[in-house]
A and B are shown apart, each in its own frame.
Chain A
Amino acid sequence: DTAVSQTPKYLVTQMGNDKSIKCEQNLGHDTMYWYKQDSKKFLKIMFSYNNKELIINETVPNRFSPKSPDKAHLNLHINSLELGDSAVYFCASSQDPRLLSSGNTIYFGEGSWLTVV
């Protein structure tokens, strides 16, 4: 069983389209994240939710909107896609993020490769 699963794995779409990436975790974690691997290969956080509430919202265009219907799911919706949105998007989950110092870590999905043409 995949602990953190995200779909689709690959997505090619045209500029201007709206698309969603879905994420589900079966680890019983309270916190979920979206990270983006940028052009310099950094993994940068975009959003995190704890028990369906937004706790981190980094400087991300408002065309990106996360939705958490329950604590096991965190979907990423992107409106009016632009060429610069092409990247790999990673979903992840963890226990309470304040415990990331106590031996707990973040578990990642396999990534979703988005290409905007």
Chain B
Amino acid sequence: AQSVTQLGSHVSVSEGALVLLRCNYSSSVPPYLFWYVQYPNQGLQLLLKYTTGATLVKGINGFEAEFKKSETSFHLTKPSAHMSDAAEYFCAVSLGDSSYKLIFGSGTRLLVRP
């Protein structure tokens, strides 16, 4: 069975500091991995995804994530936090291109201090 674990329900950083949101997964087959962002009272927006190929994936708003198979991780990073990055971030896994089901982590709320 697949599962996703996001370490830290809340992460607080200062504006301009590095953002690191952790995601570990378990999957019996090569996974597809996703990061979504949810702003207050809005739906989820795809930040980036890993399917196959290059393990460092760049997304929107300056975010990137690296797929590390040996560590079963897909951590999300951004070199310099902006106030507008404050939101909830969800990591998700699916069974690949034919899969319809996304398995989500419990989310990490990012707080950005001025």
Judge: A and B partners, yes or no: no
Binding site for B on A (CB under 8 A): none
Interface residues of B (CB under 8 A from A): none
